[in-house]
């Protein structure tokens, strides 16, 4: 009899008791708005910013309403205006090109490698087409960041890092989000810390930080931030920077602070699960494991594998067969967007581009969440199910 997995791919762990208690304290005093403070009170949001800046080694941090808002704010803060071109990954999720379109700019897509990272050769070829790169560390895969920064620095390209899937990861010991001018992080439920929605923005550039804080809706209350530039920096930008309100509130900040303190422990737990699944999938006929660089420390909150050069019908059959056994897989080769999954040719607000090498890889990418609610035995079972169904379809074709 075939094994069946009965767990949930969307159920997150409950929030830690410390986060629940902190949230209750905010609810009891009622000061949810980040600038509504009692005498002598710093506020949960300002403390979150201060703590996260220290955690990743940044000078400045801003907490905002979502990761997508953080990215659009980053683009505005570095001076992107309507009509500008912005480089970005062909393999990413819709909020990344969406942030570019939101400011009236035009995405220019850069290809993807079999390691699921941005194609640095393609980036070098397109480096003269734009002055900003919105780099998506899609599904937690970090490219050779040293080489990427060499290419971008030589071409005068400002790098904004989308770290929605790499909070807690490093490249050669440098936290993700700290190589470019700005790092943007998501605190949405399926990311590495959970406030339902939310985002964090870090930078070492004082004018970028000041513009971002005003953009987020600080009015003239920026002195209530703890991880921000000196007041005179705001004087240089306050009259020419619009308010596009997207603040985080004290309730979400209170929930996040204890989770960030536990992040290293959570990363270790994710990676233990990821590695069990990866081990179970190795040497499956027709299946390619996505190998990781020794320079990369990653967060295994999702796992991807490749069914390279399979027909669309065969990949779809694997997805269906695994689904019938309780294993939810997502596929980036489908002709139409499905759920959270779409691809660069789905985003028709961007000019059509031809990326045949990337099309081949996208057609073979299979993706799966790895919630911390899974036990290690669950991971072993999931790997056995995927392995058996991939092997069965491969042999039949």
| Those residues with Cβ within 8 angstroms of residue 28's Cβ, 6 or more apart along the chain or in another chain | none
Q: Which two tokens stand for residue 242?
A: 């619009």
Q: Which two tokens stand for residue 191?
A: 């990311």
Give the burial class of 157: count Cβ atoms within 10 A of its Cβ; 0-12 exposed, 13-18 middle, 19 or more buried.
buried
* Predicted local confidence at residue 250, as pLDDT: 98
Rounded distance between C-alpha atoms, residue 288 and residue 237, angstroms: 50
* Predicted local confidence at residue 160, as pLDDT: 98
* Predicted local confidence at residue 219, as pLDDT: 95
Is residue 238 within a helix (H) or strand (E), and if so which, with residue range? none
Nearest in space to 59 (alpha carbons), one of 204, 232, 223, 264: 204
Instruction: State the 10-residue block means of pLDDT for the chain, 397 residues long.
Output: 91 96 98 96 98 98 98 98 98 97 98 98 98 98 98 98 98 98 97 98 98 97 96 96 97 98 98 98 97 97 98 97 97 88 93 95 97 98 98 94
* Predicted local confidence at residue 336, as pLDDT: 87
Distances in Å between the Cα of 342 and the Cα atoms of 86, 150, 332 are 19, 30, 7
Q: List domains and CATH numbers for the chain.
A: 17-261 (3.40.640.10), 263-396 (3.90.1150.10)
Helix (H, G, I), strand (E, B) or coil at 88: strand
Rounded distance between C-alpha atoms, residue 391 and residue 229, angstroms: 57
pTM for the structure as a whole = 0.97
- What distance lies between CA 61 and its chain's CA centroid? 17
**What's the alpha-carbon Rg for the chain, to the nearest Å?**
21
* Predicted local confidence at residue 57, as pLDDT: 98
* Predicted local confidence at residue 333, as pLDDT: 87
End-to-end alpha-carbon separation of the chain, Å? 23
Cβ(110)–Cβ(138) under 8 Å?
no
* Predicted local confidence at residue 1, as pLDDT: 53
Cβ(317)–Cβ(393) under 8 Å?
yes
Rounded distance between C-alpha atoms, residue 353 and residue 109, angstroms: 8
Helix (H, G, I), strand (E, B) or coil at 270: helix
| Those residues with Cβ within 8 angstroms of residue 232's Cβ, 6 or more apart along the chain or in another chain | none
* Predicted local confidence at residue 397, as pLDDT: 85
Rounded distance between C-alpha atoms, residue 130 and residue 355, angstroms: 18
Q: Which two tokens stand for residue 257?
A: 């602070």
Cβ(111)–Cβ(132) under 8 Å?
no
* Other CB atoms within 10 Å distance of the CB of residue 40: 5
Distances in Å between the Cα of 391 and the Cα atoms of 281, 285, 315, 378 are 10, 6, 12, 20
Rounded distance between C-alpha atoms, residue 30 and residue 25, angstroms: 8
């Amino acid at each position: 009899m075939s094994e069946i997995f009965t767990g949930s791919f969307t159920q997150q762990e409950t929030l830690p008791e410390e986060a629940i208690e902190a949230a209750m304290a905010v609810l009891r005093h009622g000061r949810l708005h980040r600038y509504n403070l009692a005498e002598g009170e710093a506020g949960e949001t300002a403390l979150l910013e201060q703590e996260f800046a220290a955690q990743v080694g940044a000078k400045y941090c801003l907490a905002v309403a979502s990761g997508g808002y953080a990215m659009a704010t980053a683009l505005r803060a570095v001076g992107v205006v309507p009509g500008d071109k912005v480089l970005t990954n062909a393999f990413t999720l819709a909020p990344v090109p969406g942030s570019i379109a939101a400011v009236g700019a035009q995405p220019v897509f850069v290809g993807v490698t079999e390691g699921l990272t941005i194609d640095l050769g393609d980036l070098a070829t397109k480096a003269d087409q734009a002055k900003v790169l919105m780099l998506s560390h899609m599904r937690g895969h970090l490219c050779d960041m040293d080489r990427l920064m060499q290419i971008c620095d030589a071409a005068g390209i400002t790098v904004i890092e989308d770290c929605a899937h790499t909070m807690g990861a490093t490249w050669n010991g440098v936290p993700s989000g700290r190589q470019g001018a700005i790092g943007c992080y998501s605190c949405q439920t399926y990311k590495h810390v959970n406030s339902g929605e939310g985002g964090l923005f870090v930078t070492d550039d004082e004018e970028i930080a000041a513009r971002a804080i005003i953009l987020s809706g600080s009015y003239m209350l920026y002195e209530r931030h703890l991880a921000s530039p000196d007041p005179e920096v705001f004087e240089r930008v306050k009259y020419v920077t619009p308010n596009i309100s997207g603040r985080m509130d004290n309730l979400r900040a209170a929930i996040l602070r204890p989770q960030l303190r536990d992040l290293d422990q959570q990363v270790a737990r994710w990676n233990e699960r990821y590695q069990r699944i990866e081990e179970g999938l190795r040497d499956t006929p027709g299946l390619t494991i996505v190998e990781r660089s020794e320079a990369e420390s990653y967060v295994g909150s999702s796992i991807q594998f490749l069914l390279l050069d399979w027909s669309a019908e065969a990949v779809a059959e694997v997805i269906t067969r695994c689904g019938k056994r309780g294993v939810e897989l997502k596929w980036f080769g489908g002709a139409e967007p499905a759920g959270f999954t779409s691809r660069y040719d789905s985003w028709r607000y961007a000019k059509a581009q031809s990326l045949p090498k990337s099309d081949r890889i996208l057609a073979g990418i299979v993706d799966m969440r790895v919630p911390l609610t899974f036990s290690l035995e669950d991971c072993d079972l999931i790997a056995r199910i995927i392995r058996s169904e991939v092997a069965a379809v491969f042999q039949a074709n």
